[in-house]
Amino acid sequence: MSTRRKALAGNGRSDWYKRMNTTSPVSDDALTLRFWGVRGSTPVSGPEYVEFGGNTPCLEIRCGDRLFVLDAGSGIGPFGRSNTEGLPQEIDLLFSHLHLDHTAGLPFFKPAVFDETRTIHTYCGNLDGACATEALDRLFSPPLFPVSLDVLPCSLKHHGFKAGEPLVFADGSRVGTILLNHPQGSVGYRFEHAGKRLCVISDIEHTDPWPDPALLAFVQDADLIVYDGMFTEGEYCRCAGWGHSTWQKGVELAKAANAKALAIIHLHPGHTDAQLRQVEADMQAMMPASFIARERQTVDVGAPSVTSRPQLALALTA
């Protein structure tokens, strides 16, 4: 092992982190999560964004081999390109909400969008029961976008629901939902599979008092909470009312809920790798079982496994 590899392998991460992070084959009992975009608000690129990545939110969630896609930010492009095989014919895409950073990648989800045999079901729960049709038709139409989505070969079927009601799918799958405090609202999701529990809570601005009792009940005893930590507490005072939260509030929520682990997403577009590594160290001093999510990182929720950090692997081969 080279000196550099040793330095990276021994960078102080806990055994817990190594157990949670994996690209190993998973069993039917596994609940896995892969982050394809963890940046908030707008994509970024450049040498200062290599480790955590620059794509906006897209999460691949698999309950066994049952796929859910959460949000269609720019990260859905590389997700699709990395899964030309193995995507189901019917894909369930759950929107947290329809802001640009969570929708703009949709026409670039090539394996699905350019396959006339595929159906993409979208689920929108923050518009009081309305589906995403009207908003997406407005977003993807000339002169803002060259074509409307109805020219795409795939079938798009849009479903609306009211956040707070569970989503129940034709195959019997069930996903819990909750309305979050965000401009025009946002939806948090709770996935349960084979005794494992994953809650994704983004985009959200924390409230006073905190944690909100309904949210606390929703995320209770999660194996992993994925939380909007766009700001630090120091930055938040200048950004109150913008609809986002801090990693410190994520730690408070996770501890109060008896959650086993916490991941932070919706990273500020101005936060560099060096800043985020420092934030992560500060956060782990308060809650060792926590981390800042990295693009393409895979987490085996609630199960032991091995470390895989694609960005570091790239760095090692550079």
DSSP conformation letters of 108-145: G-HHHHT-TT-EEEEEE-SSTT--SHHHHHHHSSTTTS
Report the nearest approach of Zn ion to the CB of residue 116 (Å): 31
Q: Which CB, 31 or 204, lies closer to Zn ion?
A: 204
For residue 16, give the H/E element and its range.
Answer: helix 15-20
Tokens of 304: 């032991």
Paired residues of 197 in beta bridges: 192
Asked if 50 and 71 count as a contact pair (C-beta separation under 8 A), the reply is: no
Q: Which CB, 32 or 245, lies closer to Zn ion?
A: 245
Asked if 226 and 199 count as a contact pair (C-beta separation under 8 A), the reply is: yes
Say which residues have a Cβ less than 8 Å from residue 99's Cβ, sequence separation at least 6: 184, 203
Q: Which CB, 87 or 180, lies closer to Zn ion?
A: 180
Q: Which CB, 99 or 296, lies closer to Zn ion?
A: 99
Residues of this chain that interact with Zn ion (CB under 5 A) are 40, 99, 101, 203
Residue whose Cβ sits closest to Zn ion = 99
Q: Which CB, 37 or 78, lies closer to Zn ion?
A: 37
Report the nearest approach of Zn ion to the CB of residue 260 (Å): 25
Asked if 95 and 103 count as a contact pair (C-beta separation under 8 A), the reply is: yes
Report the nearest approach of Zn ion to the CB of residue 199 (Å): 17
Instruction: Report the amino acid identity of residue 18.
Output: K
Asked if 75 and 105 count as a contact pair (C-beta separation under 8 A), the reply is: yes
Report the nearest approach of Zn ion to the CB of residue 125 (Å): 14
Report the nearest approach of Zn ion to the CB of residue 239 (Å): 13
Q: Which CB, 205 or 300, lies closer to Zn ion?
A: 205
Tokens of 232: 């630090």
